[in-house]
A and B are shown apart, each in its own frame.
Chain A
Amino acid sequence: MSTKTTSLEQFYYDNKIVRNFSLATILWGVIGMTVGVIIATQLFAPSWNLTQYGTFGRLRPLHTNAVIFAFVGNAIFAGVYYSLQRLLKARMYSDFLSNFHFWGWQLIIVAAAITLPLGITTSHEYAELEWPIDIAITLVWVAFGINMFGTIFKRRERHLYVAIWFYIATFITVAVLHLTNSMQLPISLFKSYYVYAGVQDALIQWWYGHNAVAFFLTTPFLGMMYYFLPKMANRPVYSYRLSILHFWALIFIYIWAGPHHLLYSSLPDWAQSLGVVFSIMLIAPSWGGMINGLLTLRGAWDQVRENTLLKFMVVGITSYGMATFEGPMLSLKNINAIAHFTDWIVAHVHVGALGWNGFLTFAMLYWLVPRIFQTNLYSEKLVKTHFWIGTIGIAFYAIPMYISGFTQGMMWKQFTAEGTLQYGNFLDTTLQLLPMHMMRALGGTLYLTGAILMAYNLFKTMAQGTLLANEKAEAAPLAIIEEKHESDGHWHRWIEKRPIQLLVASLVMILVGSLVELVPTFMVKSNVPTIESVKPYSSLELEGRDIYIREGCVSCHSQLVRPFRSETERYGEFSKSGEFVYDHPFLWGSKRTGPDLHREGGKYPDSWHYHHMREPSSMSPGSIMPNYAWLLEQTLNTSQTKDKLAAMKKLGVPYSTDEIANAVKDLNTQAKAIQANLASEKIKVSQDKEIIALIAYLQRLGTDISKK
C-alpha cells in the first residue's frame, strides 16, 4: 500500500452542460411529440394537412428526427456528460468542446426543423437531412468524441465501468453509420443524390436504419441504465459478468440483422437469410441486458412500490424486453409477410421509443435535475401522475396499432371463394383502420400530456433550487492508483483500462458484420441482374421524381411489389432488383398508408392523376391523402435539370452527352405531350407546372419491364 494515498486532487464536475442538455431534452421532447400527435391526427382528419409545409409527408420526418435526434439525442448527452465525469472522476476534457457540442447539436436540430417542412430531404429514413447538415453532424460528433476520449485520458479511475464501454461503442458505430449512409453527390446547397442506387442503396439505408436503432436508441441507453439504475435503487448491478458478455454479443450481432427490413424484397436471398438468422440470435444479448436490469431490483421490489422513478425504469426495461423479443419475431419471414408495411411496425417501434427511450429519459431527468439544482422535486405527486398517464398512453398507442396492423395485413391478403381479392380497393383497408388511428392519437396525446407535466414539474424544480454549476470533488490521480495496483497484473483486466483498444475492438466487431452484409452486394455482379429494357428516367421524369421525394410520398407509398399472389393480383408483376439500378435514391418505402406505386405507370389516364393530386377524394371518395393543389400552380424549376442529369451520369447512369445538353428541351417536349393529353380531356394547365413532371414520373413507374 502506497503512502501517497493522502495526496488527493480537487476538481469540479461540470453540471451546467448537463443542465443545458436536460433543458434541450425537455423542450425538443415536447415539440417532437406534439408533431407526432399532429401527424397521427392527419391520418384520420386530412384537413389537418395545412399548406404544403404541413403535410404528413413533410412532417413525418420532422417528427422522427425530432424525437430521435433532438429528444433522445439530447437525453443521451445529458446522461453521458453526467455519468462519464463521475465514473472517471474527472471534469469533461474541454468546456469549449462541451459548449460547441451543445450549441452545434441544437443548431443542427433547428436546421432540420426548417429544412424538412420546406421539402429539403434526401428521403433516406432517419437520415433525411441534406449534405451540409450531414457535414455539421460529423463535426459535432467528432467534437463529442474528442471530448469523451479527452476525459477518459485524464481520468482518475483506472478501470472503465461497463457504461463507458457502451458509450465508446455508440460513438464509433454512429460515426461509421453516418459517414457510410451520407455518401451523396451534391448538385446544389440543398440537393444531392446518393451515390448508391436501388438494391445497394436499400441495403445501405437499412444497415444504417437498423443500427441507428441499435447504437443510438439502444447502446447509450443500456450504458445509462447501468449507471442510473444502481444509483436509483441504491444497489449494484445484478451481474457485472453478464453486462460484459451481453455488451460484446450485442455489438457484434446487431450489425448483421439489417436486411430483415428488406424481406421479400429484391435483395438477394442469402442476404435476407443472413438478416433473419442474426435477428433471432439477437434475442440472447438483448434479453441479457433486460434481465440484468430487472434483476438488479431483486429483493428490492418494495422500493418499486414506493419509488416512482423505479416504476419508470421497470416499465422502460420491460418495454425494451418486449420490443427486442418482437423484433426477431417480426424478422421471421411468415410473420413479416403480414406485418411489414403495416401499423404493426409502428406499434413495435413505439413500444421501444415511448417505453424504453422515453421512460428511461424521464426517470433520469427526475433523478438528476434535483441533484444538480440542490433541491427536491417540486412535486412527487405530479411524477406519479406522469407515470400513470404515460403508461396508459403507451397502452392506448400500442394496442390499437397492433390491431390495426394485423387487420390491414390480413385484409390485403384476403381472397374470395372465387379467387379474387376480397378488398380489391386499397381504400377499404385504410378506412377500416380509422377508429384505431383515432385511439392511437388519443394515446399519443396522453403521453404528450405526461411529458408536459414533467416539463412543468422540472422547471418548477429548477426555479426553486440553485444550479451547482461546478460540483467540487476529489480523488487520487491515476498515477498513484496505478502505483498502488502495480503488482495486480491479471491479464483479463487489460482491456478495461485501455480505451483505445476497446474502441478498436468495438470497431472490428461492427465491421465484420457490415462487410459481410455489404461487400458481396456491391462486388458480386450476379446479385443485381440487369434488365435490358430498363432505361434511365427522362429529364422530366427525373424532375417529377424529385417532387415525389420533396413531398415525402415515400412516407405512405411503397414502390416494392413483393412476390405474393395477393400483391401481384393487386399491383401487378413483382419487383425485380434490376429495375432499380438507376434509382438514386431507392424509394421502396417502409409503410403503406396508401397503395404501392411501383406498377402505377399506365394504370390510370393522366387526367386521373391531375384530379387526384388536386383533390384525392374526388377520385377516391373517403381518401385520407392530402390535397396537393399547389403542384397545379407552381412552376417547375428547371434551372438544375442539366446538372441533375450530369450528376446522375457521374454516378453511373448512362445518359449521353446529347441527353444532358438537351435536358431542358427534351423536358419541354415531353411536358407538351402530357399537356396536350390533358387538354384533350378538357383540363387547361400550362406545361411548365410541377404537376406535369409528377404525372410523367408516375406514368413511367414500373413500366420498363413490359416494354418490348
Chain B
Amino acid sequence: MFKQFISTIPGADNYMIFSLLIFLTFFVLVGVYLLWMDKKHLVEMEQMPFNEGNNLNKNLK
C-alpha cells in the first residue's frame, strides 16, 4: 500500500520508510521497557495520585 503512494515522489520512499522504522523501533523499545518494568515500581507509580505530600490540612473534606 505504501509503495503505491510513495512511488509518486522521487526519493521520498526511503524518507518515509525511515520514519516508519523510527516509530517501530521506538514502539518495540517502549514495549521491552514495559515488559522489563518491575512490579514494585509500577505500583509505586500507580499510587502517586494518592501520595500528595502528607497533607496537613486535616479539615479538608
CA gap between A226 and B5 in the complex, in Å: 39
- Chain B contacts of A83 at CB under 8 A? 49
A161 touches B49 (CB 8 A): yes
In the complex with contacts A161-B45, A241-B37, A512-B19, A86-B53 CB distance below 8 A: yes
In the complex with contacts A270-B8, A513-B19, A162-B45 CB distance below 8 A: yes
Expressed in whole angstroms, the minimum distance between the Cβ of A454 and any Cβ of chain B is 19
Q: Which residue of B lies closest to A228 (CB)?
A: B49
Interface 1/0 per residue, B35-51 and A, CB below 8 Å:
01110011111111110
A473 touches B1 (CB 8 A): no
- Chain A contacts of B54 at CB under 8 A? 8, 473-475
Instruction: Check if A417 is an interface residue, CB within 8 A of chain B.
Output: no
CA gap between A83 and B53 in the complex, in Å: 12
- Chain B contacts of A11 at CB under 8 A? 53
B8 touches A268 (CB 8 A): yes
- Chain B contacts of A375 at CB under 8 A? 61
Interface residue ranges of A460-479 to B (CB < 8 Å): 468, 471-475
CA gap between A244 and B50 in the complex, in Å: 19
In the complex with contacts A252-B23, A490-B38, A86-B5 CB distance below 8 A: no
In the complex with contacts A244-B30, A492-B36, A236-B19 CB distance below 8 A: no
B23 touches A270 (CB 8 A): no
A520 touches B12 (CB 8 A): yes
CA gap between A550 and B40 in the complex, in Å: 59
Expressed in whole angstroms, the minimum distance between the Cβ of A368 and any Cβ of chain B is 11
Interface 1/0 per residue, A273-301 and B, CB below 8 Å:
11001000000000000000000000000
Interface 1/0 per residue, A234-257 and B, CB below 8 Å:
001100110011001100110000
B16 touches A474 (CB 8 A): no
B1, B34, B36: the one contacting A245 at CB < 8 Å is B34
B50 touches A230 (CB 8 A): yes
CA gap between A566 and B34 in the complex, in Å: 51
In the complex with contacts A87-B49, A376-B61, A516-B16, A269-B5 CB distance below 8 A: yes
**Does more than half of chain A's interface fall in helix, strand or loop, or is it mixed?**
helix
CA gap between A493 and B30 in the complex, in Å: 12
CA gap between A269 and B6 in the complex, in Å: 9
A520 touches B9 (CB 8 A): yes
- Chain A contacts of B56 at CB under 8 A? 10, 472-474
CA gap between A336 and B20 in the complex, in Å: 25
Expressed in whole angstroms, the minimum distance between the Cβ of B56 and any Cβ of chain A is 4
Expressed in whole angstroms, the minimum distance between the Cβ of A56 and any Cβ of chain B is 38
In the complex with contacts A162-B45, A227-B49, A270-B6, A248-B27 CB distance below 8 A: yes
A159, A270, A370, A468: the one contacting B57 at CB < 8 Å is A468
Q: Which residue of A lies closest to B33 (CB)?
A: A492
A249, A374, A493: the one contacting B59 at CB < 8 Å is A374
CA gap between A163 and B45 in the complex, in Å: 11
Q: Which residue of B lies closest to A158 (CB)?
A: B44
Instruction: Check if A584 is an interface residue, CB within 8 A of chain B.
Output: no
- Chain A contacts of B41 at CB under 8 A? 490, 493
Instruction: Check if A231 is an interface residue, CB within 8 A of chain B.
Output: yes
CA gap between A490 and B41 in the complex, in Å: 10
In the complex with contacts A252-B26, A473-B54, A87-B48 CB distance below 8 A: yes
Residue among B30, B44, B49 with max Cβ neighbours from chain A (10 Å): B49
Q: Which residue of B lies closest to A226 (CB)?
A: B49
Q: Which residue of B lies closest to A248 (CB)?
A: B30
Expressed in whole angstroms, the minimum distance between the Cβ of B50 and any Cβ of chain A is 7
A512 touches B9 (CB 8 A): no
- Chain A contacts of B49 at CB under 8 A? 83, 86-87, 161, 163, 226-227, 230-231, 236
In the complex with contacts A252-B23, A269-B5, A269-B8, A89-B61 CB distance below 8 A: no
Instruction: Check if A527 is an interface residue, CB within 8 A of chain B.
Output: yes
Q: Which residue of B lies closest to A472 (CB)?
A: B56
Expressed in whole angstroms, the minimum distance between the Cβ of B7 and any Cβ of chain A is 8
Q: Which residue of A lies closest to B45 (CB)?
A: A240
Interface residue ranges of B1-29 to A (CB < 8 Å): 1-2, 4-6, 8-10, 12, 15-16, 19, 22-23, 26-27
CA gap between A376 and B22 in the complex, in Å: 50
Q: Which residue of B lies closest to A83 (CB)?
A: B49
- Chain A contacts of B30 at CB under 8 A? 244-245, 248
- Chain A contacts of B10 at CB under 8 A? 524
Expressed in whole angstroms, the minimum distance between the Cβ of B60 and any Cβ of chain A is 6
- Chain A contacts of B12 at CB under 8 A? 270, 520, 524
B48 touches A474 (CB 8 A): no
- Chain B contacts of A515 at CB under 8 A? 19
Expressed in whole angstroms, the minimum distance between the Cβ of A341 and any Cβ of chain B is 24
Residue among A231, A241, A513, A515 with max Cβ neighbours from chain B (10 Å): A241
CA gap between A273 and B50 in the complex, in Å: 45
CA gap between A482 and B32 in the complex, in Å: 25
Expressed in whole angstroms, the minimum distance between the Cβ of B61 and any Cβ of chain A is 6
B19 touches A159 (CB 8 A): no
Expressed in whole angstroms, the minimum distance between the Cβ of A372 and any Cβ of chain B is 9
Interface residue ranges of A5-30 to B (CB < 8 Å): 8, 10-11
B53 touches A468 (CB 8 A): no
In the complex with contacts A490-B41, A492-B36, A512-B22, A473-B16 CB distance below 8 A: no
- Chain B contacts of A248 at CB under 8 A? 26-27, 30
CA gap between A513 and B56 in the complex, in Å: 47
A159 touches B8 (CB 8 A): no
Q: Which residue of A lies closest to B48 (CB)?
A: A161
- Chain A contacts of B15 at CB under 8 A? 516, 520
- Chain B contacts of A130 at CB under 8 A? none
A241, A273, A526: the one contacting B1 at CB < 8 Å is A273
CA gap between A274 and B16 in the complex, in Å: 10
Interface residue ranges of A464-508 to B (CB < 8 Å): 468, 471-475, 490, 492-493, 496
Known interface pairs A230-B46, A244-B30, A271-B5; 17 further A-B residue pairs with C-beta atoms within 8 A, sorted by A's residue number: A86-B49, A86-B52, A89-B53, A161-B45, A227-B49, A231-B50, A248-B27, A248-B30, A249-B27, A252-B23, A277-B2, A370-B61, A376-B61, A496-B45, A513-B19, A516-B15, A516-B19
Across the A-B interface, give the 3 residue pairs with the lowest CB-CB distance, nearest first.
Answer: A270-B5, A236-B46, A473-B53
Question: What are 12 A-B contacts defined by CB distance under 8 Å?
Answer: A86-B49, A226-B49, A241-B34, A244-B34, A270-B8, A277-B1, A374-B57, A374-B59, A374-B60, A475-B54, A490-B41, A526-B9
B residues contacting A by CB (< 8 A) are 1-2, 4-6, 8-10, 12, 15-16, 19, 22-23, 26-27, 30-31, 33-34, 36-38, 41-50, 52-57, 59-61
